[in-house]
Amino acid sequence: MTYFEPPIHWQDHEDIAMALYEKFGDDFTEAKIYRIRFTDLLDWVLSLPNFEGTREQATEGHLEQIQAKWVYEWRDNQ
């Protein structure tokens, strides 16, 4: 049985944050997450499986929300 994962889009901030936490685990602490360059964050989001957004659709607001949700996800797992 295959598990179907629905596509992720830019507005799915929480899903993106959870995927980034699963990918990087505790490599990034809260302070490190807030120091990630948006250019790097953008590349990482675009490389996530099931992510269907494009670079052109990304906004600073999306990236800020993803960063904040990633911090919450990291805190929840400590």
pLDDT tens column, 11-53: 999 999 999 999 999 999 999 999 999 999 999 999 999 999 9
What backbone torsions phi and psi does residue 12 show, to the nearest 5 degrees? -85, 60
pLDDT digits (tens, 9 = 90+) for 65-74: 999 999 999 9
| Per-residue 3-state assignment (H helix, E strand, C coil) for 5-24 | CCCECCCCHHHHHHHHHHHH
Domain edges within the chain: 13-77
- Domain 13-77 falls under CATH 1.10.8: no
Going by the DSSP 8-state scheme, the letter that residue 36 receives in this structure is: S
Q: How far is the C-alpha of 55 from the C-alpha of 10, rounded, in Å?
A: 10
pTM of the model: 0.91
Q: Report residue 36 as tokens.
A: 């990630």
Q: How far is the C-alpha of 75 from the C-alpha of 52, rounded, in Å?
A: 27
